[in-house]
Amino acid sequence: MAKATKIPVIDLSGKDQTQVAKDLVEAAIEHGFIYIKNTGEDIPAQAINEAFEISKRLFEAPLEEKQACAIQKNNRGWSGMQVETLDPATQRVGDFKEAFNFGPFYKPDEPNQPIPPTITADIPQISRFQSLCYHLCLKLTTLLGVGLSVSPPDFFTSSHLHSAQNPSGSILRLLYYPPASSTPEADRSADVRAGAHSDYGSMTLLFRLEGQGGLEILTKENMWEPVPVAPPGTEGDESPPILLNIGDLLSYWTNGLLRSTVHRVVFSGGGGGGGGESEERREEGDLDGARYSIAYFCHPVGSTALTPVPSERVKAHVPDGENREKGNPYAERKVLTADEHLQMRLRASYLQLYKDKE
């Protein structure tokens, strides 16, 4: 039976910030996924609720509006059903989801991309939400720097300070997984809502809604385990915890010390993984109903050179067989900057976009 994971819940508002930093680093090494208790201090529940409301309106907008904002090679815009294939080696068909990516608004309320008219009035809220996510990520990069005793301690944070002159690949992504009933072509036991993948950037913040489970991580033992939306101890909070995960870039940068964990989103049939209807899965609600999530993919400034992180802890880390590969999956291709890293990954998941326009 698939068991729920033991991903720790961390409260960033803890008095002893050195301890918080240590706990965060240990969780990033051990699991790569961490629940950030939502106290409302960094991202108020109301801002999250508003963002989900905007997302619903956006995906319900007329198809022509969304198509006019189709995703470009700059990774901004709308991607329709089955356009993205996160696990092309395994998936029979593309992901059963729609997504809309917003690049950074370097000036408040000024998107650098076409926006569907249905949500033009919501630009200030989107801008504010993106800024809240960005600032939470800066806080997290600072804590990781402290927890890893990186010298100087702002090594990670300063490389994430983006601007129009020093842009980053950071993306705020609204996601919509239509109900299975509206996609009868999906084989719920073989197909997935989002294919198995690890994220590309430094770290990802994921916002989910209660009763809309389906996210699973691949454990060290190679088992798929569900990641409950509201783990024990957070049920009474105003908003479920924010799920933080380490991305490939940060794992690569730390020579595999921080773990970038493979994850996916499944229908109730279990994505061919044999998970079946476990107790935890049933607690997660109707896995075939409509599902919304919001991800903020945090990336360093594109020109950042991915040179070894100045930390004794990182230097002392000797990757084991499995992590050696994970730590530097691109060793042969010599990734030099954050931008090169991102371009390589996008090319692999948007097969058609790159094929059509080359």
Ligand X SMILES: O=C(O)CCC(=O)C(=O)O
Handedness of CA 32, 36, 41, 45 (dihedral sign): positive
CA distance 201 to 177: 22
> Any contact of residue 194 with ligand X (CB under 6 A)?
yes
Which C-beta is closer to Fe ion: that of 122 or that of 225?
225
Of 216, 245, 298, 316, nearest in space to 31 by CA: 245
> Any contact of residue 293 with ligand X (CB under 6 A)?
yes
Which residue has the closest beta carbon to Fe ion?
199
Question: Which positions from 253 through 272 interact with ligand X, judged by CB under 6 A?
Answer: 263, 265
Q: Which one of Fe ion, ligand X, none is in contact with 293 (Cβ closer than 5 to 8 A by kind)?
A: ligand X
Q: How far is the CB of 197 from Fe ion (least distance, A)?
A: 6
CA distance 35 to 10: 6
> Any contact of residue 215 with ligand X (CB under 6 A)?
yes
Which C-beta is closer to Fe ion: that of 95 or that of 199?
199
Task: Show the CA angle centred on residue 22, arms to residues 20 and 27, nearest 5°.
Answer: 95
Binds ligand X by CB under 6 A, chosen from 199, 280, 288, 339 = 199
CA distance 351 to 231: 36
Question: Which positions from 161 through 180 interact with ligand X, judged by CB under 6 A?
Answer: 175
Which C-beta is closer to Fe ion: that of 142 or that of 198?
198
> Any contact of residue 249 with ligand X (CB under 6 A)?
no
Query: Per residue in 117-151, is it b (16+ CB within 10 Å) or e — as a string?
Result: ebbeebbebbbbbbebbbebbbebbbbbbbbbebe
Q: How far is the CB of 218 from ligand X (least distance, A)?
A: 12
168: DSSP letter: B
CA distance 241 to 218: 20
* Residues that contact ligand X, how many (by CB under 6 A): 10
Instruction: Report the number of secondary-structure helices (H) and strands (E) in the chain.
Output: 11, 12
Which residue has the closest beta carbon to ligand X?
293
| Number of other residues whose CB lies within 10 A of the CB of residue 332 | 6
Of 189, 196, 258, nearest in space to 224 by CA: 196
Q: How far is the CB of 316 from ligand X (least distance, A)?
A: 31
CA distance 335 to 137: 23
Q: Which residues pair with 342 in a beta bridge?
A: none
Which C-beta is closer to ligand X: that of 206 or that of 287?
206
Q: Which residues bind Fe ion (CB under 5 A)?
A: 199
Which C-beta is closer to Fe ion: that of 35 or that of 155?
35
In the stretch 129-168, what mask flags binding to ligand X with x, by CB under 6 A? ----------------------------------------
Which C-beta is closer to ligand X: that of 228 or that of 327?
228
Whats the size of the chain, residue-wise?
358
Residue numbers at the binding site for ligand X (CB under 6 A)? 175, 194, 199, 206, 208, 215, 263, 265, 293, 295
